[in-house]
Amino acid sequence: MSFLEELNRRRTFGIISHPDAGKTTLTEKLLLFGGAINEAGAVKNNKIKKGATSDFMEIERQRGISVATSVLAFNYKGIKINILDTPGHKDFAEDTFRTLTAVDSVIVVIDVAKGVEEQTEKLIKVCRMRKIPIIVFINKLDREGKDAFDLLDEIEQKLGLKVCPLSFPIGMGYDFKGIYNIWEKKLNLFDGAVKQTISKGIEFNHLENPELDKIIGKKAATELREETELIYEVYPKFNKNDYLNGELQPVFFGSALNNFGVKELLDCFINIAPCPQPKMSDTRLVQATENKLTGFVFKIHANMDPKHRDRLAFIKIVSGIFKRNTNYLHVRLNKKMKFSSPNAFFAEKKEIVDTSFPGDIVGLHDTGNFKIGDTLTEGELLNFKGIPSFSPEYFRYINNADPLKSKQLAKGIDQLMDEGVAQLFLLNLNGRKVIGTVGALQFEVIQYRLEHEYGAKCTYENLNMHKVCWVAPQDPKNEEYATFLRVKQRYLAKDKEGQLVFLADSAFTIQMTQSKYPSVVLHFTSEF
């Protein structure tokens, strides 16, 4: 297969939503349809023996939530699909925001009963800012929920999207009979008893066909005819270019747990979703069709396999072909590196690949050379932009609970911070370590992983801080900056990269500092 053919058959997308909307379950079912797994697991698996494929960390299996983005790849109808299943919980939002830099499109999962939730709004804001094409999947139709038209209105108003239904439910909850697939003009009937099999669609080119009344009943057939008429009148017709430009969002209905509506979503997705897109670097726009390799690290995961203590850097390939055992330039270190065992992923299962193409995610074994945001090229000096560290909102001192394991603790903290799980700050005054996170649940995850993956125990002490600001003086030699350093000495620290940060205890402190020291600029993300 030629380079362009390989490029055109790739689709890389992320699945995002509020916690519990069914994101990981949808991922499982996509894998099931793709033939990548024989049996789908459950996220909350009290009866089902098998856990979700993408929730492979021990803590994820215990909690029934995803705490890290997982990468899965499979082939479906000749198309190579790369899925990035992201955490929905707001405490892990930073991982999700970074993942959005590596996808070409997204599927947003919305719970039919809860509608649009807070976390979904934040994530969609990022997608719209970056003009990422979005498909909406309204999930859990086998449960009682909001009216379909009310949900579509809510999505338009709260998320600012312009929706275009490509399938529509017949009834809901107890009355749920199936879905009319507008995209393929097919009727899919729901049979709740046969949960693990895939329903076959009945073709209906004209809903006026009297056969419809026999199949779903007269009342349901009349309602469906009225509703589809309303859809054609109220909502815009599907236009692929509008979708690709982020101006129109197709909507599908279904029940991921019951395999329902998932195949319709997947069949449409492979037809309309974009193949690998160009990406902006600090010097120019890099096209996916270019022959020379470029790629960037969007995630680092320590201990993918706790037995081997391995650390993997996840690289999204932007252009060119990534080849095994070939020298590439690590731009930040200005150092040539070659990789003998690059991995392709299937959750925690990995296999060594010889070549990878734009859109693919490759895992590289790393001994500490990579940081999130690093770029690999064939020699060109460029860096991809838009992978910042956000200012944390929760802070705690971290203490060693077992003096005999101080080496393990230092190593564990070091590696987990490289993952971007949280951020580490060293106070200038006394050298104490402070951990800052975007959500409180991260502290539990860190404590759990330090103990189970590194054999180190830690305790926390509360630290009442409001925000971290990265300090950038206009002139490091002027008197005002020297005064700032002297007066604010107690609240200054260094981040992991040695950049100076100011720990502010309130929004008022930030305001006062900015007005008192105008030449000292404070930033809320590390990328400035």
Q: What is the pLDDT of residues 76-105, one digit of tens each?
A: 888 888 888 665 445 445 666 777 788 899
Q: What is the pLDDT of residues 464-522, one digit of tens each?
A: 888 888 898 888 888 999 999 999 999 999 988 888 999 998 989 999 999 999 999 98
Do 107 and 68 lie in one domain? The reply is yes
Do 363 and 445 lie in one domain? The reply is no
E-only strand ranges, 157-256: 163-165, 167-170, 178-181, 186-189, 201-203, 249-253
> What does the block give as tokens for 380?
């060109």
Do 200 and 84 lie in one domain? The reply is yes
Neighbours of 284 (CB within 10 A): 10
CATH no. for residue 140? Answer: 3.40.50.300
- Confidence at residue 43, expressed as pLDDT on a 0 to 100 scale: 40
CATH no. for residue 477? Answer: 3.30.70.3280
- Domain boundary among the residues 272, 304, 326 is at 272
The pTM score is 0.76
Do 259 and 222 lie in one domain? The reply is yes
Do 182 and 309 lie in one domain? The reply is no
- Confidence at residue 51, expressed as pLDDT on a 0 to 100 scale: 47
| Cβ-contact 19, 66 below 8 angstroms | no
Do 264 and 285 lie in one domain? The reply is no
Positions in the chain short of pLDDT 70: 34-70, 85-96, 190-206, 302-310, 346-349, 386-390, 527-528
Residue-range definition of the domain harbouring residue 264: 12-272
Do 167 and 100 lie in one domain? The reply is yes
Do 66 and 164 lie in one domain? The reply is yes
Give the chain's domain count: 3
CATH no. for residue 313? Answer: 2.40.30.10
Do 249 and 284 lie in one domain? The reply is no
Integer CA distances (angstroms), 29 to 17, 34, 68, 220, 293, in order: 16, 8, 19, 28, 33
Residue 388 lies in a domain: no
Helix 23-33 vs helix 262-272: angle between axes, to the nearest 10 degrees?
80
